[in-house]
Amino acid sequence: MLLRSSLEKASSFLHQRVREAIFSYKTNCNFRRRSAATSAMDSSSSSSSSSSPPCKLVLCGKSSAENEIAESLKNNNTLKLPDNDAVSVLLQSEWDKPLDDGDSFRIDSFMNSLSTNRFGRFLLWSPLLTSTHDVVSHNFGELPVGAVCVADVQYKGRGRSKNVWQSPKGCLLFSFTLQMEDGRVVPLVQYVVSLAVTEAIKDICDKNGLPYVDVKIKWPNDLYLNNLKVGGILCTSTYKSKKFNISAGIGLNVDNEKPTICLNGLLRELSVVAYQFEREDILASFFNKFEIFYDLFMDQGFQSLEELYYKTWLHSGQRVIVQEKNEDQVVENVVTVQGLTSSGYLLAIGDDNQMCELHPDGNRFFCAWAFMFSTGKRIYR
């Protein structure tokens, strides 16, 4: 099986090629656009970009230092969008519409709940955006590391294999930046992100006396609730000046029950309490958790988080059918998932006690009825 990835080679001192970490952010809060529709939309938007209103980005920071960065970015007209889409940059103080109308992301509520030293402290928010991921990835060098972009609605959300997604109101849609030097552990960042999302939701439930909303991780980068996809993750990276610039994107169904399931929909079934999950609370809780997990990850490796990760994912002891092409024949082997390899792939053992490393094959990797199907097998050594 082949992991579609394209990490650039780190530098000559690295003894092995490092693959670019490209992961999945196919939130099921989104409606997929087929390629033809996407092409038509791109063509239409490019021909009418001069007449369409510019995207609005509201900038703010938790501290005066971060607010100074926001002022500088606005005054220097630094931020850009792909395809030369127009963008209008405003400071939070210049936004002339109420941010507590029930639909808009409440910036002050998020900042007041945030307790990090690095992540989430610089915010870009938009009521309507092509893609949060495009904003942070195209402006990586201009933004402070740890900056986050949030949108209420996005209509060109990034997904695996260049899929494009529409995202309705009620989804938590955000992308943030981080930077790493060791390319060997870059592919594992997606697991740290996934774990921080699930633990953030648990933390909110605990603090508010709510019944447990059991969000699970489906390897490599999806989030599931009651056997339905409730969110997903996409991490992309580029290599520059001996550092990996990583953009991590997350989509989570918070208050939109279609097309699958959402957190508040399940909460209403489980509890008579009037409490509802809010996007701002989840985002702040996520960054509070992520910063702790990330520091552990960087200091002690992913092993420090493995036990918690395995309690949260869907695959321990799962029986897997692996289809392996052998010349003109397809041979099926049954293996059992044991955990993750050091490079972040699935580690499985066959009935013959031979260890295998399983890779996802783009969008064709899926999990149903406790089986995972793919197009090849690689022996793990």
The pLDDT tens digits along the chain (381 residues) read: 333 333 333 333 333 333 333 233 333 333 333 232 223 233 333 333 344 567 899 999 999 999 999 999 999 999 998 777 888 999 999 987 766 566 899 999 999 999 999 999 999 999 999 899 999 999 999 999 999 999 999 986 455 545 555 577 899 999 999 999 999 999 999 999 999 999 999 999 999 999 999 999 999 999 999 999 999 999 999 999 999 999 999 999 999 988 889 999 999 999 877 899 999 999 999 999 999 999 999 999 999 999 999 999 999 999 988 888 888 888 888 999 999 999 999 999 999 899 989 887 654 333 322 233 333 333 332
Q: Which residue among 311, 338, 357 closes a domain?
A: 311
Q: Does one domain contain both 90 and 168? A: yes
Domain membership flag for residue 260: yes
Q: Which residue among 254, 286, 311 closes a domain?
A: 311
Domain membership flag for residue 9: no
Domain membership flag for residue 16: no
At 187, list the tokens: 């592919």
Distance CA(129)–CA(32), nearest Å, equals 16
At 47, list the tokens: 């021909």
Q: Which residue among 284, 311, 338 closes a domain?
A: 311
Q: Does one domain contain both 203 and 301? A: yes
* Alpha carbon 263 to chain centroid, angstroms: 17
Domain containing 60: what range?
A: 31-311
Mind giving me the DSSP string for 256-324?
--SSS--HHHHHHHH--------HHHHHHHHHHHHHHHHHHHHHH-THHHHHHHHHHBS-TT-EEEEEE
Give the total number of structural domains in the chain.
2
**Which pLDDT score, from 0 to 100, does residue 158 have?**
56
Q: Does one domain contain both 264 and 355? A: no
Q: Does one domain contain both 246 and 369? A: no
Domain membership flag for residue 24: no
